[in-house]
Amino acid sequence: MQRLIIEGEKRLSGEIKVQGAKNSALPLLSAALLVQGETVLHNCPRLSDVFAACRILGHLGCECRVSGNTVTVRADAPCGCCVPDELMREMRSSIAFLGAILGRTGECCLSFPGGCALGARPIDLHLEALRKMGVTVTEKHGMLRCVCPGGLKGAQIHLSFPSVGATENIILAAVLAKGTTVIGNAAKEPEIKDLARFLNLCGARIQGAGTDTVVIEGVDKLSPVEYTVMPDRVCVCTLMSAAAITGGEITVRGAAAEDIEAVIPVYEQMGCSVYTYSDRLFISRTRPLRAVDRVVTLPYPGFPTDAQAMTMAALSLAKGTSIMVETIFENRYRHVSELVRMGADIRVEGRTAVIKGVDRLYGARVEATDLRGGAALAVAALAAEGVTEIRGLRYIDRGYEKIEDQLSSLGASVRRVSE
Ligand code: EPZ
């Protein structure tokens, strides 16, 4: 088992290029299944989730090659339609393959994606939409069997919640379907736009991505392209929280300010100065950290749930009391107990966390139980007095490319040790 050892109280400063977005690379890899020929994805982050997605593609008969941050997917061969349980369990977001496998083969069998630390993670919205497109879904002993004998058909779909994964799966199922699909109350996250941009370059006909109504006109075939994955907006937020908590100043090259419009004002209220340019973001914190009255996580363009944990870490040292409300996931406060172990004063009541700023955090042995919660512990450790040891690195490695290198390049004292 690997651990991060962080010696705190180091002010971060410098410039860093943000990695490619995990939450875009995964649906893009799934979309490559729909393209006959060789798709090339640049700026793919080297993450365990990306490697797991490549293993699933390989299992389905694709040829997947990873070279640096470029992933090449050749999807000529006849495509399998079953994802074995052991591969499904490697990453929860493998449900993103459901739409693409159905779009390519008209059938799919995979095990129900398990819940995770964030909660049950149901897929009812995905399945309801696919049924409207002609898919018959049967579930037996935790295995999902989806068949679509007459081929997928366009449908009018209204999502009761703007689910990111459901929106992506519907788009993936609709691009080669017969007829037109309209998604009402679609998710508007930037990753949806990235997926639609890629698919349209391949010859798809998708309009309205990034708005709450997406229209997909089915086409017969998609042709391969080279594409560059968008920057990871959650990693940008993580670096912002690192600058905020250490009183540092960081330039994040490749950051797209429009992807984090709801986050910037929160960090300005915390006492940071944030300057954005077309291809970078500069953040510095020269004034004392201040509490923020209320931060509520919402679907895009609201404050992103993925930025909740690391922002909470920064707020734990702010003067005053902050309130955070997590409206997206039912159990996204698992990092609170570990932050408290480091000296934070945080109380959780249902979906609300009350963060009373303290003067100091202390290094401790803490455990990550999910990806962004783990990142929050690393952020807190950067400012804590003494040394922090973080276990559960496998969670952090799902979303951050060599987090120890990223933070060390900005002046942190971080090392990865193996048991
Ligand atoms: C995506 O998850 C991201 N993952 C998550 O990032 C992100 O937090 C989330 O979107 C919200 O922005 C990837 O893109 C791989 P949802 P997803 O479907 O698609 C409920 C990270 O840290 N729901 O929008 O699973 C669900 O339970 C990860 O990078 C249903 O009830 O998110 C949750 O409460 C974590 N039924 C809410 O909707 C469904 O059928 C949001 O889920 C689907 C979802």
**pLDDT tens, position by position, for the chain (419 residues)?**
899 999 999 999 999 999 999 999 999 999 999 999 999 999 999 999 999 999 999 999 999 999 999 999 999 977 899 998 888 888 778 898 999 999 999 999 998 776 566 777 789 999 999 999 999 999 888 889 999 988 999 999 999 999 999 999 999 999 999 999 999 999 999 999 999 999 999 999 999 999 999 999 999 999 999 999 999 999 999 999 999 999 999 999 999 999 999 999 999 999 999 999 999 999 999 899 999 999 999 999 999 999 999 999 999 999 999 999 999 998 899 999 999 999 999 999 999 999 999 999 999 999 999 999 999 999 999 999 999 999 999 999 999 999 999 999 999 999 999 97
Residue at a domain's end among 166, 195, 228: 228
Q: Specify the pTM.
A: 0.97
213, 66: one domain: yes
Identify the helix (H) or strand (E) that includes residue 386. none
Q: What residue numbers bound the domain in which 212 lies?
A: 22-228
79 is catalytic: no
Please give the distance, rounded to the nearest whole angstrom, from the Cα atom of residue 170 to the centre of ligand 1: 14
169, 262: one domain: no
Atom of ligand 1 nearest to the CA of 49: 15
For residue 319, which of 285, 287, 289 has the smallest C-alpha distance?
289
Please give the distance, rounded to the nearest whole angstrom, from the Cα atom of residue 389 to the centre of ligand 1: 29
250, 320: one domain: yes
* Rounded Cα gap, residues 208 and 174, in angstroms: 14
Pocket test for ligand 1, best of 97, 137, 161, 168 (most atoms within 8 A of CB): 161
413, 309: one domain: yes
Residue at a domain's end among 184, 203, 228: 228
In this structure, are residues 372 and 354 in contact, taking their beta carbons and an 8 Å threshold?
no
* CATH value at residue 347: 3.65.10.10
Please tell me the residue having the least CA distance from ligand 1 atom 21. Answer: 306
* Rounded Cα gap, residues 389 and 1, in angstroms: 12
56, 194: one domain: yes
60, 95: one domain: yes
55, 8: one domain: no
In this structure, are residues 55 and 80 in contact, taking their beta carbons and an 8 Å threshold?
no
Q: Which of 44, 54, 81, 116 is catalytic?
A: 116
Residue at a domain's end among 180, 202, 228: 228
Pocket test for ligand 1, best of 163, 230, 371, 403 (most atoms within 8 A of CB): 163
Identify the helix (H) or strand (E) that includes residue 285. strand 280-285
Q: What is the number of domains present in the chain?
A: 2
261, 385: one domain: yes
211, 242: one domain: no
Please give the distance, rounded to the nearest whole angstrom, from the Cα atom of residue 380 to the centre of ligand 1: 25
Q: Which residues have C-beta atoms less than 6 Å from ligand 1?
A: 22-23, 26, 93, 119, 121-126, 161, 163-166, 187, 189, 234, 305-306, 328-329, 371-372, 399
